[in-house]
């Protein structure tokens, strides 16, 4: 019996060990052959059993002869593989090739190298960037009156526009040689977060020129002449940019746009040249109503072959001054009462030179590639940092409000139902902060993380929406009555805007995150795909062979890893650091192997059909996203110096994310169409069932304490929110009241005790103070302190009311909404604009 057990453990345990550690084929062959040889000599099994054991050894030995393997196995496999390849358009291929693979690739491997993630330095602001945050950024926040902007003006005041331009808020990504600030991606994100905590209108206005737009396109693809022509004006604010991609016919399917440009001869500045005659109709374009330079995406045609042999070049990007004949601007959209400048733009028979194409005519047809490459970075900054900034403001305000607002004689933070919402507000804000900080830091180290950018865009904006919902619920009626004292309502109304723009979230989740990641991040799929499409048959066969058998070994390893890690709760999995969060690294290791295994079998059994199985793809994308976000939480905790006080936030965040990964894997298996494969996978992924638990109530209450009490954890969580104490900033006033509440806690307790003992009779605190003062339960000085505190709280709990005529928008706002063209024209007529503007064409 014991001898039999020994041999079983040798073969089974040894096989698991080899696969778990991804020992190469040659070494595995030697190890397995040695074990079988030992059994042949010393074992007591039946001779047929011995022969059976030698069969896999023979197969493994044969596989080590690569030439034999290629001819007998790989060549037929390649022929079958080519019949299974899904169709792929040029736009899909260019999207797949955008950016690079970073930590997402490690998670796809099933065996993440944590040292790689931990080797990235913690992002920090330079002295210059910190000075900007403490100076111009702080001052701009002080100038903002969001109620005035949104309700009275439907635009930012001229002094705010002037301040933004003077201090080069539009030029954070522009190099200093062109007059810009040349800030890091991290600084860009922190500035946007700070502004978003104050006003969605201002953060959107500043964010767009520093994201996908003319400046970024010029920096990466423009000719030096184009850079010298436009970048100084964009840096100074004399030029206001916009970029027009979306049209009524092409929204999420941006590649289907019908806006066009035809290469032809025409007259420009008095001479006949070869140029482009453009016709377009765009909508949802931020800054379009006031833009002086328009970045335009269109399809380029050359029917007369004036620039080459192609009839159609495809999507092309050009920069066009908006004062040219045929261009219509001046109208505005009105996005959910958040009045950042956004509107349609159209052009009819607008004739421009070929050198208006960004990068010159050599870049004709390269517009889509340009756009998706830049989206691989930009989507990780502007919208995610806006959501993070809004989340910080909501966490800061809601934590204080829940402690100050009392019902049934207790702060509402003491009620578990409210506490559940508060824990989500804090936890989701921590996740957003971590994702933005870690990913922007990676960008500053040279990474162009395409898939993480999509993860951040989708999940940060969705988490921002969840935080907004919970914050509104906690505030109740306070948050639904609009007015100058409502500090949540406008941000709540803005959340669907972030959900919608730069790739609708439904599309991003259903198609992009896993759809792009499955090919881009998988260690071998892209190599197999490229080998199968190689025109050199022999070279393609060799490359396919190498990728295929590496892929097979990878799949076998993930079977072993997934099973062993699930069986042992990953307790023996290697972790990079001696840290209080070690178990969470191990949890991610487990789900990384399970995810890699599920992904492989999904692609193997469904092939090209997986592309249209959007719900399955979305669930796998959710698993990848949960692991990525949990990784950033752990890295963020390390970056901030392992503050033990923050551990409840870290644990709540990772537990929530990994529980989501577990449930999405379960849902994926439950809905997988091949039930036999689903059963097989479940045996390796959940051999002990679903064992991971969501955060406990006890842990959630610890998180509640962190945001409802003043302290370093609350400060770190909301570090970028604008919390300066001043008359126009409710976030600063809430903090002041929270601190007073903590200082006056003994007096509040004294009043409660006096009421309980019948020494004072009123249930209303305002009356209790007076009764207690008359009864000399508290001194006159204590009564004054309590009155001052009570008045501040009453003001903060208050809401606005209006005369009927005041509910209608101020006439100035109607004028602003109806006539933005006058403002744009005034800006174009400025001396700086006249100096740099192109001459009007003579047609």
d(C-alpha 494, C-alpha 337), whole Å: 8
> What are the Cα distances from residue 647, in Å, to 427, 453, 588, 642, 728?
11, 26, 17, 8, 34
C-alpha dihedral (801, 802, 807, 810), degrees to nearest 10: -120
In the prediction, which pLDDT does 561 show? 95
d(C-alpha 494, C-alpha 754), whole Å: 46
Work out the number of other CB atoms within 10 angstroms of the CB of residue 39: 18
Catalytically active residues are 502
Of 730, 823, 826, the closest CA to residue 154 belongs to 823
In the prediction, which pLDDT does 535 show? 83
Residue that the structure tokens 């004689």 belong to: 409
Which residues does 36 contact at the CB level (< 8 Å), separation at least 6? 50, 53, 54, 57
> What are the Cα distances from residue 644, in Å, to 82, 432, 608, 695?
54, 20, 48, 18
Domain ranges, ordered by start, for the chain: 2-64, 744-797
> What are the Cα distances from residue 814, in Å, to 155, 270, 536, 593?
10, 41, 65, 58
In the prediction, which pLDDT does 92 show? 65
CB 682 within 8 A of CB 613: no
In the prediction, which pLDDT does 812 show? 63
In degrees, rounded to 5, the angle at the alpha carbon of residue 603 between the alpha carbons of residues 598 and 604 is 95
Of 357, 358, 420, the closest CA to residue 700 belongs to 420
List the beta bridge partners of residue 463. none
CB 275 within 8 A of CB 352: yes
Which residues does 417 contact at the CB level (< 8 Å), separation at least 6? none
The two tokens of residue 15 are 């096989």
CB 392 within 8 A of CB 718: yes
In the prediction, which pLDDT does 369 show? 85
In the prediction, which pLDDT does 831 show? 42
In terms of C-beta distances under 8 Å and separation of at least 24 residues, what long-range contacts does 33-38 make, across chains too?
A: 33/57, 33/60, 33/61, 35/10, 35/11
Of 113, 81, 100, the closest CA to residue 525 belongs to 81
Please, what sign has the CA dihedral across residues 812, 818, 820, 821? Answer: negative
Residue that the structure tokens 């192109």 belong to: 838
Q: How far is CA 762 from the centre of its chain?
A: 51
Q: Which residues of the chain are modeled with pLDDT < 50? A: 821-822, 825-827, 829-843
d(C-alpha 655, C-alpha 653), whole Å: 6
Of 737, 507, 641, the closest CA to residue 122 belongs to 641
Residue that the structure tokens 């604010």 belong to: 237
CB 97 within 8 A of CB 366: no
> What are the Cα distances from residue 344, in Å, to 315, 332, 791, 815?
20, 7, 48, 18
Residue that the structure tokens 């709990």 belong to: 797
Beta pairing class for 342-353 and 327-328? antiparallel
d(C-alpha 515, C-alpha 519), whole Å: 7
In the prediction, which pLDDT does 497 show? 94
The two tokens of residue 257 are 């746009």
The single-letter DSSP state of residue 137 is I
> What are the Cα distances from residue 553, in Å, to 21, 33, 113, 823?
11, 17, 18, 64
In the prediction, which pLDDT does 90 show? 65
Question: Is residue 477 classed exposed, middle or buried when 0-12, 13-18 and 19+ CB atoms within 10 A define those classes?
Answer: exposed
In the prediction, which pLDDT does 91 show? 63
CB 652 within 8 A of CB 427: yes
CB 840 within 8 A of CB 243: no
| 333 SS3 class | coil
Helix (H) / strand (E) containing 306: none
């Amino acid at each position: 019996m014991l001898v039999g057990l020994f041999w079983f453990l040798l073969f089974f345990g040894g096989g698991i060990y080899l696969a778990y550690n991804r020992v190469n084929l040659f070494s595995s062959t030697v190890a397995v052959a040695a074990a079988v040889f030992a059994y042949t000599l010393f074992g007591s099994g039946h001779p047929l059993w011995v022969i059976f054991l030698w069969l896999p050894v023979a197969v493994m030995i044969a596989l080590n002869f690569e030439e034999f393997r290629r001819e007998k196995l790989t060549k037929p496999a390649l022929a079958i593989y080519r019949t299974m390849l899904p169709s792929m358009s040029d736009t899909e291929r260019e999207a797949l090739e955008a950016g690079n693979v970073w930590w997402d690739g490690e998670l796809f491997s099933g065996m993440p190298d944590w040292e790689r993630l931990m080797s990235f330095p913690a992002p920090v602001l330079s002295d210059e960037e910190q000075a900007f945050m403490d100076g111009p950024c702080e001052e701009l926040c002080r100038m903002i009156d969001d109620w005035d902007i949104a309700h009275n003006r439907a635009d930012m005041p001229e002094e705010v526009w002037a301040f933004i331009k003077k201090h080069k808020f539009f030029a954070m990504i522009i190099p200093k040689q062109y007059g810009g600030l040349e800030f890091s991606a991290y600084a860009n994100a922190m500035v946007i977060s700070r502004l978003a905590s104050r006003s969605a209108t201002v953060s959107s206005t500043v964010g767009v020129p520093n994201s996908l737009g003319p400046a970024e396109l010029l920096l990466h693809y423009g000719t030096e002449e184009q850079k010298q022509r436009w970048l100084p004006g964009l840096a100074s604010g004399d030029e206001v940019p916009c970029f027009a991609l979306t049209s009524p016919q092409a929204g999420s399917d941006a590649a289907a746009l019908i806006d066009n440009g035809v290469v032809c001869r025409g007259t420009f500045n008095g001479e006949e040249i070869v140029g482009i005659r453009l016709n377009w109709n765009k909508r949802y374009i931020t800054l379009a109503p006031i833009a002086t330079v328009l970045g335009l995406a269109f399809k380029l045609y050359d029917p007369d072959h004036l620039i080459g042999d192609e009839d159609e070049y495809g999507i092309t990007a050009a920069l066009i001054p908006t004062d040219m004949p045929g261009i219509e601007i001046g109208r505005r959209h009105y996005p959910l009462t958040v009045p950042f400048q956004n509107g349609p733009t159209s052009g009819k028979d607008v004739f421009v030179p070929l050198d208006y194409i960004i990068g010159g005519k050599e870049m004709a047809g390269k517009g889509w590639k340009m756009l998706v490459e830049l989206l691989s970075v930009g989507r990780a900054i502007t919208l995610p940092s806006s959501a993070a900034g809004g989340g910080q403001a909501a966490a800061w305000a809601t934590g204080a409000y829940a402690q100050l607002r009392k019902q049934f004689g207790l702060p509402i933070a003491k009620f578990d139902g409210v506490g559940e919402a508060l824990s989500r507000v804090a936890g989701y804000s921590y996740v957003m902060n971590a994702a933005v900080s870690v990913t922007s830091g990676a960008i500053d180290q040279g990474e162009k993380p395409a898939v993480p950018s999509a993860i951040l865009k989708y999940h940060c904006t969705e988490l921002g929406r969840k935080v907004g919902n919970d914050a509104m619920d906690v505030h109740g009626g306070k948050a639904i009555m609009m007015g100058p004292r409502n500090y949540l309502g406008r941000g709540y109304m803005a959340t669907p805007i972030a959900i919608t723009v730069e790739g609708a979230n439904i599309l991003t989740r259903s198609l992009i995150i896993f759809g792009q990641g499955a090919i881009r991040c998988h260690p071998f799929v892209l190599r197999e795909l490229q080998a199968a499409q190689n025109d050199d048959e022999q070279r393609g066969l060799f490359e396919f062979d190498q990728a295929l058998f590496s892929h097979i070994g990878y799949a076998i390893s993930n079977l072993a890893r997934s099973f062993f890690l699930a069986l042992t709760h990953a307790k023996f999995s290697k972790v990079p650091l001696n840290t209080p969060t070690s178990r969470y690294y191990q949890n991610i290791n487990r789900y990384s192997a399970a995810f890699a295994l599920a992904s492989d079998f999904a692609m193997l059994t469904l092939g090209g059909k997986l592309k249209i199985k959007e719900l399955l793809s979305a669930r796998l994308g959710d698993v990848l996203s949960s692991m990525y976000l949990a990784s950033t939480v752990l890295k963020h905790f390390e970056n901030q110096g392992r503050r033990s006080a923050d551990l409840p936030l870290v644990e709540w965040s990772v537990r929530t994310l990994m529980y989501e990964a577990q449930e999405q894997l379960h849902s994926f298996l439950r809905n997988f169409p091949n039930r036999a494969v689903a059963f097989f996978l479940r045996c390796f992924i959940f051999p002990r069932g679903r064992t991971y638990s969501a955060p406990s109530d006890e842990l959630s209450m610890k998180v509640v304490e962190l945001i409802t009490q003043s302290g370093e954890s609350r400060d770190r969580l909301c570090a970028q929110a604008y919390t300066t104490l001043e008359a126009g900033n409710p976030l600063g006033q809430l903090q002041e009241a929270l601190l007073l509440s903590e200082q006056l806690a003994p007096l509040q307790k004294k009043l409660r005790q006096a009421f309980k003992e019948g020494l004072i009779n009123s249930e209303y605190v305002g009356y209790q103070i007076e009764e207690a003062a008359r009864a000399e339960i508290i001194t006159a000085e204590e009564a004054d302190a309590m009155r001052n505190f009570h008045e501040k709280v009453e003001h903060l709990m208050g809401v606005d009311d209006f005369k009927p005529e005041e509910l209608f928008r101020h006439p100035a706002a109607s004028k602003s909404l109806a006539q933005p063209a006058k403002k744009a024209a005034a800006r174009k007529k400025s001396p700086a604009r006249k100096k740099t503007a192109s001459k009007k064409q003579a047609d």
